[in-house]
Structure 1
C-alpha cells in the first residue's frame, strides 16, 4: 500500500476544508497521513488530522515560506485548499507546487477567474445559448429602474460560495432599501430573478480532467427544511421564498437530465478540474445560481455515497488510476456536534 502524505489547508469553520478531511478519512486502501493547517488553533478540524500547524493568513508575507516548509518537512504529495484565499494562492503559484512535485485539485486559471464573477459567468453562458434566470448588474441605485423582474435575489457578484450578503427583494421598494445598504458597504451586486421553489434545489458536482474531458458528475437534491440549512426565509401571502445556507443536506441521487445539463455547462467553460453547480430544476431545465470552481461543501456527503472526489483525485493524479464515477443513492442529513479540543 503506497504511503501518501496530504496537506489540507483551512480546516476550521466547518467549510470545505473540513469536508475534504472527512472524505480522506473514509479511504481504506491508501496509507494516508493527513496534515492540516488553519489560522486558529480553535478548530474541530485539528482533531481529525495526524498533524496540525498554526499558520498566518494568506496575505501575510510569511505564509508562502511557512507552507512550503511544511510541504518539505512532511514530504507532501498532494495539497487541498480549504478556503478561497488559499485557492487563489495555490492557483497563482502553480509552478512552485509543480517544482515541489505537489499535486493539487485546482481548475484552470481561466475557469476560476470566470466562475468567481457571477455576472461575467451569466453573460458568458448567455452568449453560449444557456437559458438563465433574468439578471442585472447593479452599480448604482438608479440601475434598479431597469429591473423588470420580481421577486429577485440580490447577492455579491464576485467571490464563490457562501450566503453572506444575499437578500430577497419582493418588489422595487425592498430592492431600493437593500441595494442602498449593500452599496453603502461596498458590495459588488448582481440581481437575479427568484424562480422555482426551494423543494427543487440541487447542487451538482462535475469532475473534468486537465484536457477538459468530463470524468463524472453527482447530484444532491437539497433538503432546505430547518435552521441548519436555511439562511433566509421570506413569506408573502401564500408564497414562501427561501435562500439556503452553506450547510447542505439532502438526497444524493441520479438525475440524468440535470447532470447532462451540468456537464454541458462544464464543457462550455472548459472546466479542467472540480466544479460545483448550484441550481434549481424548473420544468426539467437546470436554472443556474452560481458555479464554484472547487470542491463542494457537500464533499463528505458525496464520499459517503461512494463518490469520494479527494480519493479519486489522489488515485487519478498520483497513481494513474481511472476515475470511478459510480455512486449510490442515499439520504444524508447533518447535525451540530459538540467537540472538545486541546488548546
Structure 2
C-alpha cells in the first residue's frame, strides 16, 4: 500500500513522549503518511521528521482547540493523534466537535480517563472488579498512614507524575513519614502502594481497541531495566523481604525489552482493559507475582513503546487508520514478531 499519501495531524511530537512514538510508528506503517506535526516549542528535535511543523499553544491555553481545528481543516487531515496527556484530555472532552469537523480521533472517552488518570481510582476500580492489585491507600494527611504497615512501599502522586516523577521507595517508618510530608507539600493527595515482585518480571502491555470498542489485539514487552534510561530509582533492599532481591527498583517511562507472546500477561491485561469499555489504545504496567499478573498503573493512551511494537509488526496508529478510517479488515489477534529491542539516544541538528 506504499505510495498512497494519507494526511494526519500529530500533536506533541517533541519531548520524548508518546507523540514521538506515534511519529516513529507512522513512518513504519503500511500506508505512506504525510504528517503535520505540532509542539509547544520551535526547539523540537523531531520537527525535521514531519512533512510540516507548526507551533501550537499549550493544551491549557483557551486558543488551543480552535487553532488545532483550524490547522487540521486547512491541512486536510483525516485524523488527529494526541502526543501528550494534557492534549489527550482536551481531545477526549472535545471529541464530538472534532468528529463533526470530519476528523478521526483515537482517544478514549472521559469515563476511561477519569479512572485511569487517578492512580487511587485505578487501583480501587480494579480491586472492586475482582482483579488483584497491590495493597494501596489514598493519603491526604499523615493520619491516613497510621494503619499502614506494609514496607517496602511506593509513594507517588495520585494525579499526574508522568515519567515516574516524584515517585519514592520507602523502607522504614521514618522514610514513610519524611517522603509523605514532602509529597503533601506538593500535591493534595498521593497513593501509598505495596511494593510488589521483581523488576525482572515487569511488563508493559498494550491492549488495542477500535473506535467501536472491539478488542483488536494485545502485545506485551518484558522489560529490561538495566540503565539510566530505564531506571528511575533503585535502592539496596534493607528489609528482611528477601523475595524482592538485593535491590528495589522503580522503572522510568522509557521501556525496552523482549517482545514475545507472554500469553498469561496479555490475557489478564485484556480482561482488565476491556472491563473499562475503551475505544482506543490502553497501556498497562504490571509485574508477575507468584504466577499472578498484578497491575500497578494503567495509561489510557498510546504507549512509550509504540514504535518498538511497530518494529515487531504491531503498528497501532497505522492499524487504527486502516481499520477505523479506511475500512480495511484487520484480523483480530493478528501475528507479530518476537524480538529483543533495546534503546539509546539519538541527536538531531536543526538548521
CA distance in 1: counterparts of 2:328 and 2:160, whole angstroms: 33
> Do the aligned residues in 2 keep the contact of 1:274 with 1:294 (CA within 8 Å)?
yes
Q: TM-score, normalised by structure 2?
A: 0.94
- Offset from partner CA, 1:193-227 (integer Å, 9 cap, x none): 00101111000000123343321100000110011
CA distance in 2: counterparts of 1:120 and 1:213, whole angstroms: 24
Find 2:7's aligned residue among 5, 12, 15: 5
Q: TM-score, normalised by structure 1?
A: 0.96
- Aligned pair count reads 341
> Match of 1:111?
112
Change (3 A) 1:202 1:187: farther
> Match of 1:239?
246
> Match of 1:135?
136
> Match of 2:20?
18
Q: Report which stretch shifted further, 311-320 or 237-246.
A: 237-246
Q: Report which stretch shifted further, 184-193 or 146-155.
A: 184-193
CA distance in 2: counterparts of 1:170 and 1:94, whole angstroms: 44
CA distance in 2: counterparts of 1:31 and 1:160, whole angstroms: 35
> Match of 2:54?
53
> Match of 1:292?
299
Superposition RMSD on alpha carbons, in Å?
1.4
- Offset from partner CA, 1:16-61 (integer Å, 9 cap, x none): 100000000112x423210000010111110110000011111222
> Do the aligned residues in 1 keep the contact of 2:319 with 2:330 (CA within 8 Å)?
yes
The 5 Å alignment of 1:270-285 reads 270-285=277-292
CA distance in 2: counterparts of 1:124 and 1:246, whole angstroms: 23
> Match of 1:205?
206
- Offset from partner CA, 1:208-248 (integer Å, 9 cap, x none): 23343321100000110011111000113462000001111
What are the ranges of 5 or more consecutive residues in structure 2 without an aligned counterpart? 239-244
SS at match of 2:208: strand
CA offset at residue 165 of structure 1?
Answer: 1.0
What are the ranges of 5 or more consecutive residues in structure 1 without an aligned counterpart? none
The 5 Å alignment of 1:76-95 reads 76-95=77-96
> Do the aligned residues in 1 keep the contact of 2:208 with 2:282 (CA within 8 Å)?
yes
SS at match of 1:146: coil
